[in-house]
Amino acid sequence: MPPPCGPKGHYSLIDYFHNESNIRGIKMNSEKFTSASKVCEFVNNNPDHAIEILNNFDIDFCCGGFKTLEQACGEKGLDHEQILSQLVDDSKKSADVVDWALLDTTDLVDHIVGVHHMYLKETFPKLDGLMEKVINAHGENHPELFDLQKVVRSLRADLEPHMMKEENILFPMIKSLDGSLESAPAHCGSVANPIRVMMADHEHAGMILEKIKTMTNNYSPPEDACETYRLLFKTLKQIEADLLLHVHKENNLLFPQALSQVA
């Protein structure tokens, strides 16, 4: 997370993000990456490859994306040079990746809504149906499913109003700043405050995801699981993967871009 904000912190969100290396997902050649590069920069440069490696080592790239690779590895007791060598392997770079790291603010907002918000809106109702079917078939032998259902519902209850606030309030404010430097100072406080709230929401959603991951034994269905049971766990794993990338794009790209326009 960014440093503390407000009167008790050393500087605000705007101060934190108003730094050339923090503002934009600048593409770099892999040989320019070092252990001092931020975790989020590896994801911006080669998303699929970096996310796979970072997930394998349980390194947070969304809410913790502004940590350096060395710092993130140190917290996990990992060899940062070994992980760096895997991250900069250009042979794993996909040529078909949508270059969302270089989108301007308005296009990035539209991308997030059209891809990630739409995915969750379509998937949550299906997930509810899957959960009910699995509980009806396996609840007697697997009573832990009832607790899982409560946690999954809490994730939906958190994210649906969160997305609504972004689409109806924050994202229109951010779009109004794109290319409008003259009006930026008037929006300074009003944009920073909802961004701070959205980032706190992201942290909370991340904690719920961790709980789901633990309750499902890393999305590993039991031996007696039917195909619907397996599909439920597969869907939960897909939601986690999509949400982590979703939060990365907001925390580490969109929000810094927006705040840089009002600094």
The DSSP result for 244-257, as a single string, is HHHHHHIIIIIHHH
In a domain, 192, yes or no: yes
How far is the C-alpha of 125 from the C-alpha of 172, rounded, in Å? 26
User: Do 122 and 220 belong to one domain?
Assistant: yes
Residues facing residue 199 across a β-bridge: none
Burial 91-106 (b: 16+ CB within 10 A, else e): eeeeeeeeebbebebe
- Using the predicted structure, report yes or no on whether residue 108 has a pLDDT greater than 90: yes
More confident residue, 8 or 41: 41
| pLDDT beyond 60 at 8 | no
Quick: pLDDT tens for 226-263: 999 999 999 999 999 999 999 999 999 999 989 888 76
User: Does 6 fall in a domain?
Assistant: no
Q: What value does the mean pLDDT of the chain take?
A: 82
The three-class DSSP label of residue 145 is helix
Q: How far apart are CA 108 and CA 114, in angstroms?
A: 10
Residue 13 lies in a domain: no
Segment 104-118 shows an average pLDDT of 94
CB count within 10 Å of CB 81 equals 12
Under DSSP, is residue 68 helix (H, G, I), strand (E, B) or coil? Answer: strand
Domain co-membership, 174 together with 55: no
Q: Work out the number of other CB atoms within 10 angstroms of the CB of residue 205.
A: 21
Same domain, 75 and 171: no
Q: Are residues 54 and 172 in the same domain?
A: no
Nearest to 5 by CA among 226, 237, 151, 197: 197
Which of 60, 92, 124 is the last residue in one of the domains?
92
**pLDDT band per the 50, 70, 90 thresholds, residue 120:** very high
What's the pLDDT band for 186 if we cut at 50, 70, 90? very low
Q: Of the candidates 92, 118, 133, which is a domain's last residue?
A: 92
- Does residue 15 surpass a pLDDT of 70? no
What is the 3 state secondary structure string of 169-228?
A: HHHHHHHHHCCCHHHHHHHHHHHHHHHHHHHHHHHHHHHHHHHHHHHCCCCCCCCCCCHH
**On the CB side of 147, how many CA atoms lie within 13 Å of its CA?**
10
**What pLDDT is attached to residue 66?**
80
- pLDDT digits 0-9 by tens, 122-154: 999 999 999 999 999 999 999 999 999 999 999
| Ranges of H-type helices in 12-99 | 13-17, 20-23, 39-45, 47-56, 69-76, 80-87
Closest to 138 measured CA to CA, from 214, 211, 223: 223
Does residue 13 carry a pLDDT above 60?
no
Residue at 67 is within a domain: yes
Q: Tell me how many domains the chain contains.
A: 2
Task: Name the pLDDT band for 44 (thresholds 50, 70, 90).
Answer: confident
Return the pLDDT at 254.
Answer: 94
Contact 61, 51 (CB under 8 A): yes
Q: Which helix (H) or strand (E) holds 81?
A: helix 80-87
How would residue 91 be classed by pLDDT, with cut points 50, 70 and 90? Answer: low
Domain that holds residue 81: 28-92
Q: Give yes or no for residue 118 having a pLDDT over 80.
A: yes
Query: Does residue 158 carry a pLDDT above 50?
Result: yes
Q: Is the pLDDT of residue 170 over 80?
A: yes
Q: Output the pLDDT for position 189.
A: 55
Q: Are residues 37 and 114 both part of a single domain? A: no
Q: What is the pLDDT of residue 5?
A: 34
Check whether residue 180 and residue 209 sit in a common domain. yes
pLDDT digits (tens, 9 = 90+) for 59-83: 888 778 788 999 999 998 998 888 8
Per-residue pLDDT, 93: 59
